[in-house]
Structure formats: C-alpha cells, structure tokens
C-alpha cells in the first residue's frame, strides 16, 4: 500500500506540472482529493491493515495528501495573481490624461427673474402666496367680477377641463383665496407667482403657457399714489434707478380705475429705438385699484377698505431685462441660449 501511495503521489504531481488552466487544476483537485478519488480509496482500505501498519500507512497517506495540496495551492495562487493582474490591466486608468470637466449648470433665466422680483417685493414687506394651477371657474372668473355671461371672458380663451374646472388663466385666483382665508383681516400684501394657461398660438411674443406674478394690497386708505410709488420702486430696482414709468388708462374687470404701466426703454434711454418702436416706452404690466365688487366677494367692505392689484408676465420682464426677442427661447431648452446666463 505504501508503494501504491508513492506511485499515486508521483502520478498526481506529474499531471499537476502540466496544468494550463484554472479548470484543469480544479478537475485534478477533484480527481485526486475528492471523495471518489484514489487517495480516499486507499484510506478506506486501512481497516484491513494490522495495528502496527496503520500509523505508518496513515502518515504516508497524509504526506501524499499534503504534497498534492501544496502544489495545487501554489498553482491556485499563481492563477489568482494572474487573474488580478489581467483585470487591473484591463481596468487601468491613464492618470496622465487631462480630466473631463463636468458641465456647470446655472439658474434658468425665468427662475432668476422670479427670484429677483420676489426679493424686491419681500423687501417692501410683501409675502409670497401660491395656489392651484387647476382652478375653479368661480375663483378664476366669477369672484373677480367676471360672471359667466361677461363679455370680457372672451379676452382669455381658456383650457376647460369641465364646465366648472379649468387651467387658470391668471394668478388672480390666489388673491381671492387669500382674501377668503384672511376673513376680513388687514393688511394684505402678497405677490402670487406661478404658471398660467391660455389658448394662444405660440409665436415670438405669445405662449399657451407662461409665468405670471400678481400683487395685491388691501388696507385702509390705500390710494392710487401708493400703487404708482410701489411700481416705480419695483422697476427702478429691476432695471436701474434711471428708469421711469408711465400710467395709461385701461380696462380690467377686476380693477377700477385700471391702468397699463409702461417703463422707459432701457435700450435707448427713452430716446426711441427699434425695440420700443421709436416711442421711448415699453409696456410691462397692468394694474389698478381693486374693484369694490371683488372686495365684497372676498369678504371686505369696500366702504372701509381699499386696495390695489397688479399683474406682470415674467417672460416679458425677462425679455426686456436681457434683450431677448423670442419668448420661445425660454422653453426650447437650447443650451446655446441657456449658457448665456451662466454668469449673469
């Protein structure tokens, strides 16, 4: 049996010396050291040996197993190291190459202008109020002095979901909701930023969806001069201290009297140019004193309280501020356009 074990050892070492792959090594491990291998068969036959022979043959068998395992482990370590080297070589990074710079983002010009407008009015004591974009007809029209048969509704072609639910055409409903929530308390000084929707054909100056900011002030003894002073303060902070404003009579169902507000053209300083069509003025917003009927429907006594309101399209403000000629640039996500505002 001793000679058989020595022969088995030489046979195994001979085969292991010619191993050329990880799979071959695993196969030989199973062949010689597995449960059905020749070494295991020899050990099972030790029961037939005498008591004196068993420890001798057992020691030889252990030496044979140890010799085979040592060669297998050595070759396994070599294969593992080679595999690691191959993987590192495949995944190698050339640290001498210049890095790939990540693109730096910037605040969207509309978001930037909204933040500027909010900062200006917050500095004047206003708070920011918000409301739903999917609105009830009552808040969008009726509570703003626009009953269902009012002809002024034709001024705003709307997206109706049902007969009583629509996509809001203005942020004015937030004013009504705020008045209801305050239940007659004064003062109210809010601005309402948000998206609004109208069935307009998209072109250089119109969009079916745009951003609007409206303002509302209600208190005792609020006058038209307060409105003018507030708007003058706003445009001078937005466009510069040299900016002037002009109020022209207009009509809005929810304010009386109502005005269109123009600013002196920043491009020509009021001298007249292509941008202002040689007038020296650019229209930026509408405003007026809150209509008594709107105050009543909001829960305020028009004999005791007065107020003013104004509304502006943020895109219009941004276009004038940055000299942008097409409103569609704000929504097409053209990086050539957006990158211009990286450091603005």
DSSP 204-244: SS--SEEEEEEEEEEETT--HHHHHHHHHHHHHHHH-TT--
Angle at 201 between CA 238 and CA 252, to 5 degrees: 55
Which residues belong to the annotated binding site for Mg(2+)? Answer: 256
Which residues belong to the annotated binding site? Answer: 256
65: helix, coil or strand? Answer: helix
CA distance 78 to 183: 84
Beta carbons within 8 Å of 313's beta carbon, 6+ residues apart: 210, 211, 212, 285
CB 61 within 8 A of CB 5: yes
256: part of which helix (H) or strand (E)? strand 255-264
CB 193 within 8 A of CB 202: no
Q: 313-332: buried (b, 16+ CB within 10 Å) or exposed (e) per residue?
A: bbbbbbbbbeebeebbbbee
User: Around Cβ 27, how many Cβ atoms within 10 Å?
Assistant: 14
Q: What angle, 0 to 180 degrees and rounded to 10, lies between the N-to-C axes of helices 53-90 and 2-17?
A: 10
Tens place of pLDDT per residue across the chain (344 aa): 667 777 777 877 777 777 778 787 787 777 767 777 777 677 666 666 666 666 766 677 777 778 877 888 888 888 888 888 888 888 887 778 787 888 778 889 999 999 999 999 999 999 999 999 999 999 999 999 988 887 777 767 889 999 899 999 999 999 999 999 999 999 999 999 999 999 888 888 888 999 999 999 999 999 999 999 999 999 999 999 999 999 999 999 999 999 999 999 877 777 888 777 888 898 999 999 999 999 999 999 999 999 999 999 999 999 888 888 889 999 998 888 988 888 77
Q: What are phi and psi of 163, to 5 degrees?
A: -65, -20
Q: List domains and CATH numbers for the chain.
A: 1-91 (no CATH), 109-341 (3.30.930.10)
């Amino acid at each position: 049996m001793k000679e058989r074990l020595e022969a088995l050892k030489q046979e195994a070492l001979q085969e292991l010396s010619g191993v050329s792959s990880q799979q071959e090594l695993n196969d030989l491990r199973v062949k010689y050291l597995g449960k059905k291998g020749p070494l295991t068969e020899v050990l099972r036959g030790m029961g037939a040996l005498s008591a004196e022979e068993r420890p001798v043959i057992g020691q030889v068998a252990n030496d044979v197993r140890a010799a085979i395992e040592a060669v297998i482990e050595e070759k396994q370590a070599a294969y593992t190291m080679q595999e690691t080297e191959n993987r590192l070589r495949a995944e190698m990074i050339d640290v001498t190459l210049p890095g790939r710079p990540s693109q730096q983002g910037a605040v969207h010009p509309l978001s930037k202008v909204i933040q500027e407008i909010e900062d200006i009015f917050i500095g004047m004591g206003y708070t920011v109020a918000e409301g739903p974009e999917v609105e009830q007809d009552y808040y969008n029209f009726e509570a703003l002095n626009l009953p269902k048969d009012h002809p002024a509704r034709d001024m705003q072609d709307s997206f109706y979901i049902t007969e009583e639910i629509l996509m809001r055409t203005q942020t004015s409903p937030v004013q009504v909701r705020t008045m209801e929530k305050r239940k007659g308390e004064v003062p109210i000084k809010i601005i309402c930023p948000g998206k609004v929707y109208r069935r307009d054909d998209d072109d250089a100056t119109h969009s079916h969806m745009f951003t609007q900011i409206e303002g509302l002030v209600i208190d005792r003894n609020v006058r038209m001069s307060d409105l003018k002073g507030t708007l003058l303060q706003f445009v001078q902070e937005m466009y510069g201290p040299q900016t002037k404003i002009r109020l022209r009579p207009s009509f809005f169902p929810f304010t009386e009297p109502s005005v269109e507000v123009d600013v002196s053209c920043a491009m020509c300083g009021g001298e007249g140019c292509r941008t202002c069509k040689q007038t020296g003025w650019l229209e930026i917003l509408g405003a007026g004193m809150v209509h008594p009927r709107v105050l009543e429907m909001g829960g305020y006594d028009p004999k005791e309280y007065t107020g003013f309101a104004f509304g502006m399209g943020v895109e219009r403000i941004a276009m004038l501020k940055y000299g942008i000629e097409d409103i569609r640039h704000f929504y097409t996500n053209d990086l050539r356009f957006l990158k211009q505002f990286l450091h603005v």
